[in-house]
Amino acid sequence: MSDKRNNCIILLIDPPVPEKTDPELRDSFGAERGVHINLDLLQNAYKLAKTFPDAILILSYEKTARHPDLTWLDADDPGFLEAKGRDLEERIINAFRLAFNTGSKNVLLLNHLSPAVKPDWINQAFDSLGDKTVALGLNQDGSFYLLGLALNNIKLFEGLFLMSSKTALDFSEKAKRNKLNVFTPPEIYAVKNEETLRKWVEAKDVAPALFMNEPPKHPLAEISAPQPPPGEKRHVRHGNKNHHPFGSGQKSF
């Protein structure tokens, strides 16, 4: 792949408090447990993006007095693009514009609620982008986990509600009306409920996350792993949950 400065990954980061947690997570899991699950999903997406070797990283973060920086995500404090006081559409468009203004040719927005994204798909998406092609990764519920374009196609954002339930469909249809090809990596899922949470946890190759180990008396209720049929042994690999320090390729602000 070409110089990594040609490519940029954008992540939207919000502080780990209930009021800034995705409403669907709060509704499905409750306020406290939703915060823990959202944080684990953020750490997962952050690890993927910061260790991706062929792109720089922009973190769009709306800080608060209690969380003025990102040391809660990374002890090294990676820096971020300040998003205070802006609506979601403006926040996303500003991050894309900054990426293009600082020299990136192709930019991808990742949705942290979709933990099954593979590095190969990101590579393929970057390779596909150009004046005639955009990228759109779809979740099974119709939302998107990846949205990417080159500079000449940023006009597609005009009048588009970027985080609505119809964003993926509207973006795809608008691209096609503009005679653009749409590269679509494999469909996956977003963590929104107990079923999709369990799907993610069972696919992980590390020790269960914090929110899976809480004792029953704690407000963050324990999720019991499914038991194997009688007489069947279950083989599980165990490992320590890794801390996610910020690596090279980051864009600090």
pLDDT at 154: 94
Res. 211: pLDDT tops 90: no
**What tens digit of pLDDT does each residue of 14-47 get?**
999 999 999 999 999 999 999 999 999 999 999 9
Q: What's the whole-number mean pLDDT along residues 223-252?
A: 40
Give yes or no for residue 252 having a pLDDT over 70. Answer: no
Question: What pLDDT shows up at residue 215?
Answer: 41
* Residue-level pLDDT at 205: 57
Contact in structure between 80 and 253 (CB atoms under 8 Å): yes
Sorting pLDDT into bands at 50, 70 and 90, what band is 181? very high
Note the pLDDT tens digit of each residue in 47-76.
Answer: 999 999 999 999 999 888 999 999 999 988
- Tell me how far apart the alpha carbons of residues 190 and 129 are, in angstroms, rounded to a whole number: 24
Per-residue pLDDT at 228 exceeds 60: no
> How confident is the model at residue 103, as a pLDDT?
94
Task: Name which of 5, 3, 9 is nearest 135 in CA terms.
Answer: 9
Query: Whole-number mean pLDDT of the chain?
Result: 83
Burial of 216 (0-12, 13-18, 19+ CB in 10 A): exposed
Q: Calculate the CA 90 to chain-centre distance.
A: 18
Give the span between the Cα atoms of 147 and 96, in whole angstroms. Answer: 11
pLDDT for 217 = 38
Q: What is the reported pLDDT for 183? A: 98
Q: Which amino acid is at 90?
A: E
Is residue 240 very low, low, confident or very high in pLDDT (cuts 50, 70, 90)?
A: very low
Q: Where are the domains of the chain?
A: 4-190+242-251
Summarize pLDDT for 109-160 with one digit per residue, the tens: 999 999 999 999 999 999 999 999 999 999 999 999 999 999 999 999 988 8
pLDDT at 177: 95
pTM: 0.78
Pick the CATH number of 4-190+242-251 from 3.90.550.10, 3.40.710.10, 3.90.1150.10, 3.30.70.360: 3.90.550.10
Helix, coil or strand: residue 135:
strand
Distance of alpha carbon 146 from the chain centroid:
8
Query: Which range, 92-96, 183-187, 198-202, 232-236, has the best average confidence (pLDDT)?
Result: 183-187
* Number of residues in the chain: 253
